[in-house]
Every structure is written in structure tokens, then in C-alpha cells.
């Protein structure tokens, strides 16, 4: 049984939640040790008792945008802590001798390769943004993503990219369908068999610090919303602006079971351009209004391809006009989603395991 170190970035929750079914499947064939940080670590730790905590770089948002200067200054403060963790990792790697290292957009495998000479592969959606060069969306942000990915995350061995659409790619890139959690597969079956019934609410999910403006806009729209993704700081911001929960808007802290039920029974989804929820909504045939974080190229790209393939609605902001346009197209999107949604998650998991097994066998020769 091969030993694999699986590093997952701590930025956002999507990387952790989609890593769970991948790790669960790989555990049937290999010894997997997960590594992560922040909220991602907490989620992984509840599923895998052997999960290890590290730290990662974080993105700083100011007024809906990634602030490059503050992001750099904030992460510079972490360098000493990163150095200390690297020393521990170096000892742990020499002791455990992993057969393979996998990265889901984590900085650690690149550092390990640079200083210890151990190769790794990537399994993520983020490399899609580098391969799909739609520079007209925001050339500066594409350039930043490309530089960051190349110097801190990427490798020259193999990139396995999770994607809900096809793009041109080279021999060192493999595209596979997105991975969703087992509970979503069960919920999809229940929806199909009408064991659960669709309700009239729209699920709203955002993770960047943009809530005061978002909630103001939602209150102007004539519909019922369930809002996820808010932390304590966001709640304080909303109170300062005298924006409170009412009959139309209900705030919920993240609870996996409750979130999935609200997602499965929702009329539609409003989210940013985050890959994981978009993939989950596509899997459940839910119409999506995607409002990407400004200046975040990856989110802009996901929204662009969502719209290009008629799988969802790309909007730069939430307002009454855009929202009503989206509402009028919900049935159209549902038909398109049902016609295009034919892939099986199990097929993707089997392919990932085959790729990993082949690499390990090749390395041992």
C-alpha cells in the first residue's frame, strides 16, 4: 500500500470539501495523510483523524476586490512560521518516506520539491485558469494568477484539472469531471425519485468579505433567500449598517447536512465564481447566477465558461434588472443542465486512482 501526502489549501472551503470524496476513495487503495490549514483543516480533521495542520498564504479582500499590497504584507508576516513548519515537514518526510505528494493548490509541495527535490502532482481546478487564457476578462489578474501558480504551486510533472467544460491542453494535463460529495449523489437520486421536493428559496453563498453590500441588494429583490458563508466579522458589519434578518432573508452558519438540503431543495443558486459550489449546482441541475469577486481571474473564468456553455448566468453585480433576467431563464438553464449532465463521479475517482497508481509504479522502477 503506497503512502501519499495530500496537501489541501486553506483558502475557502471548496478545496477541502471536494478533497473528502477523493481521499475517501484513495484510502481504499493507499495510505493517505492529509495536510491543510484554517477552516479547511477543521473540516478535514472531522473526516480524517490523521490530518495534519500547516499554514498557508491567504488572500485579503477590500471592497469586493483582492488587495495585492495587503495580501503581500499580511503573508510576509507568516514567513517565520512557514519556515518552522517546513523544518518539521522535512523531518516528517524523511521519517515517513511518502511514495507520492499531491497538491490541491497548496504552497507546500512546491516548497518540498524546491528544497528537497521530491516531485508531486496537482489535482485542482485552479490550473484551469492558467491553461484557459481568456486574457480579455482581466489580463492583469490572469498574469498574477499565472505567476503565482508557476512559482508557488505548479510543477512540470502532471496537472490533473477538475473542470465542468473542455479546453485545449497539453500531454502533461489531464481534464476530468468535477468531484462532488457522496451526500450530493444521494440527494440527486432523491430529487429524481421525488423523495425530496424543490422549494421556492434561492440559496446564496459567498466567502469573501462582501456581505454588507450583498445583503443590501438582496433586500431590494422580491424573493426568499437563504444565505451561507458569513463569519462573525460579517455579522458585525451587517449590524453596524442596521441590516437585519427578515422573513425574506435567512442567515445560516455552515452545517454540511443543512447546507446540502437547502441546496438540493433550492429553486436556484446565487454564488460567486467559486468552482466547488458551481460544480455541485451543475451536478444537481440547479440554475446558477454567478457574481464573481472582482479582480479574481479564476472566478471570472468560471463564470465566463458557465455562461458560454449556457449552464448559468454571468453577472458583474446583483441588481433588480439582472436578477429578473436570471429568474426568467431558470427553466432554460435547467433543461440545458439536464441535457449536458451525464457524467458519473465514480468514473472520475477511478481515473484519479489509476493516474496515481501508474505514477507510483513508474517511480519505483
Residues 135 and 256 occupy one common structural domain? no
Residues 225 and 194 occupy one common structural domain? yes
Residues 217 and 197 occupy one common structural domain? yes
State how far the Cα of 251 lies from the Cα of 240, in Å rounded to an integer.
16
| Predicted pLDDT of residue 210 | 57
State how far the Cα of 227 lies from the Cα of 212, in Å rounded to an integer.
12
Whether the predicted pLDDT of 241 surpasses 60: no
State how far the Cα of 267 lies from the Cα of 288, in Å rounded to an integer.
10
Residues 160 and 17 occupy one common structural domain? yes
User: Sign of the C-alpha dihedral, residues 205, 46, 20, 158?
Assistant: positive
| Predicted pLDDT of residue 230 | 67
Residues 14 and 149 occupy one common structural domain? yes
- CATH number of the domain within which 86 lies: 3.40.50.2000
Residues 168 and 199 occupy one common structural domain? no
User: pLDDT tens across 53-99, in order?
Assistant: 998 887 777 765 667 788 888 888 888 999 999 999 999 999 999 99
User: pLDDT tens across 308-354, in order?
Assistant: 999 999 998 888 899 999 999 999 999 999 887 767 889 999 999 99
User: Sign of the C-alpha dihedral, residues 328, 295, 251, 338?
Assistant: positive
| Predicted pLDDT of residue 242 | 53
| Predicted pLDDT of residue 87 | 93
Whether the predicted pLDDT of 235 surpasses 70: no
| Predicted pLDDT of residue 231 | 61
Q: Which residues contact 139 (CB under 8 A, 6 or more apart)?
A: none
Residues 323 and 356 occupy one common structural domain? no
State how far the Cα of 306 lies from the Cα of 165, in Å rounded to an integer.
8
Whether the predicted pLDDT of 132 surpasses 80: no
Q: What is the mean pLDDT of the chain?
A: 86
Mean pLDDT, rounded, for 127-138:
72
State how far the Cα of 49 lies from the Cα of 56, in Å rounded to an integer.
20
Higher-pLDDT residue of 19, 148: 19
User: pLDDT tens across 269-300, in order?
Assistant: 999 888 989 999 999 999 999 998 877 788 88
State how far the Cα of 27 lies from the Cα of 3, in Å rounded to an integer.
10
State how far the Cα of 147 lies from the Cα of 58, in Å rounded to an integer.
16
- Tell me how far CA of residue 62 lies from CA of 58, 204, 280, 309, 355, in angstroms: 13, 20, 28, 31, 40
Furthest CA-CA distance within the chain: 65
Residues 90 and 151 occupy one common structural domain? yes
| Predicted pLDDT of residue 66 | 65
Whether the predicted pLDDT of 172 surpasses 80: yes
Mean pLDDT, rounded, for 247-268:
89
Residues 205 and 327 occupy one common structural domain? yes
Q: Which cell numbers hold the place of 19?
A: 478533497
State how far the Cα of 7 lies from the Cα of 250, in Å rounded to an integer.
35
Paired residues of 160 in beta bridges: 123, 174
DSSP 179: P
Whether the predicted pLDDT of 145 surpasses 90: no
| Predicted pLDDT of residue 239 | 60
Residues 216 and 136 occupy one common structural domain? no
Residues 116 and 197 occupy one common structural domain? no
State how far the Cα of 91 lies from the Cα of 100, in Å rounded to an integer.
16
Q: Which cell numbers hold the place of 315?
A: 453577472
Say what the pTM is.
Answer: 0.84
Q: Which domain holds residue 139?
A: 3-177+345-364
Q: Which cell numbers hold the place of 299?
A: 472566478
| Predicted pLDDT of residue 331 | 94
Residues 205 and 321 occupy one common structural domain? yes
| Predicted pLDDT of residue 137 | 72
Q: Which cell numbers hold the place of 209?
A: 468579505
Q: Which band of pLDDT confidence, cut at 50, 70 and 90, is reported for residue 28?
A: very high
Q: Which of 6-10, 206-210, 257-261, 340-344 has the lowest mean pLDDT?
A: 206-210
What is the tally of structural domains in the chain?
A: 2
Q: Which cell numbers hold the place of 79?
A: 514567513
Amino acid at each position: 500500500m503506497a503512502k501519499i501526502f495530500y496537501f489541501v489549501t486553506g483558502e475557502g472551503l471548496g478545496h477541502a470539501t471536494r478533497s473528502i470524496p477523493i481521499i475517501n476513495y484513495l484510502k481504499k487503495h493507499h495510505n493517505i495523510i492529509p495536510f491543510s490549514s484554517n477552516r479547511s483543516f477543521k473540516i478535514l480533521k472531522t473526516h480524517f483523524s490523521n490530518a495534519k495542520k500547516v499554514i498557508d498564504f491567504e488572500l485579503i479582500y477590500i471592497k469586493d476586490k483582492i488587495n495585492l499590497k495587503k495580501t503581500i504584507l499580511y503573508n510576509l508576516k507568516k514567513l517565520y512560521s512557514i519556515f518552522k513548519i517546513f523544518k518539521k515537514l522535512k523531518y516528517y518526510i524523511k521519517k515517513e518516506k511518502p511514495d507520492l505528494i499531491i497538491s490541491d493548490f497548496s504552497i507546500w509541495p512546491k516548497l518540498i520539491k524546491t528544497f528537497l527535490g521530491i516531485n508531486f502532482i496537482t489535482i485542482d481546478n485552479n490550473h484551469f485558469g492558467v491553461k484557459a487564457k481568456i486574457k480579455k476578462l482581466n489580463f492583469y489578474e490572469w498574469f498574477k494568477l499565472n505567476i503565482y501558480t508557476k512559482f508557488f504551486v505548479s510543477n512540470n510533472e502532471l496537472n490533473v484539472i477538475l473542470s465542468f467544460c473542455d479546453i485545449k491542453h497539453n500531454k502533461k494535463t489531464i481534464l476530468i469531471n468535477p468531484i462532488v460529495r457522496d451526500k450530493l449523489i444521494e440527494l440527486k437520486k432523491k430529487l429524481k425519485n421525488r423523495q425530496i421536493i424543490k422549494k421556492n428559496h434561492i440559496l446564496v453563498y459567498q466567502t469573501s468579505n462582501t456581505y454588507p453590500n450583498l445583503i443590501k441588494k438582496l433586500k431590494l429583490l422580491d424573493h426568499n433567500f437563504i444565505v451561507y458563508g458569513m463569519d462573525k466579522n460579517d455579522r458585525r458589519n451587517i449590524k453596524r449598517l442596521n441590516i437585519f434578518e427578515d422573513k425574506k432573508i435567512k442567515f445560516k452558519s455552515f452545517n454540511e447536512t443543512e447546507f446540502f438540503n437547502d441546496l438540493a431543495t433550492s429553486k436556484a443558486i446565487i454564488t460567486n465564481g467559486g468552482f466547488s459550489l458551481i460544480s455541485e449546482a451543475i451536478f444537481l441541475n440547479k440554475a446558477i447566477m454567478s457574481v464573481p469577486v472582482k479582480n479574481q481571474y479564476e472566478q471570472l473564468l468560471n463564470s465566463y465558461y458557465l455562461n458560454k456553455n449556457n449552464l448559468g448566468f454571468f453577472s458583474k453585480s446583483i441588481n433588480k434588472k439582472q436578477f429578473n433576467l436570471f429568474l426568467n431563464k431558470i427553466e432554460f438553464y435547467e433543461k440545458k443542465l439536464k441535457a449536458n449532465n451525464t457524467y458519473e463521479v465514480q468514473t472520475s475517482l477511478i481515473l484519479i486512482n489509476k493516474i496515481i497508481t501508474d505514477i507510483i509504479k513508474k517511480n519505483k522502477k
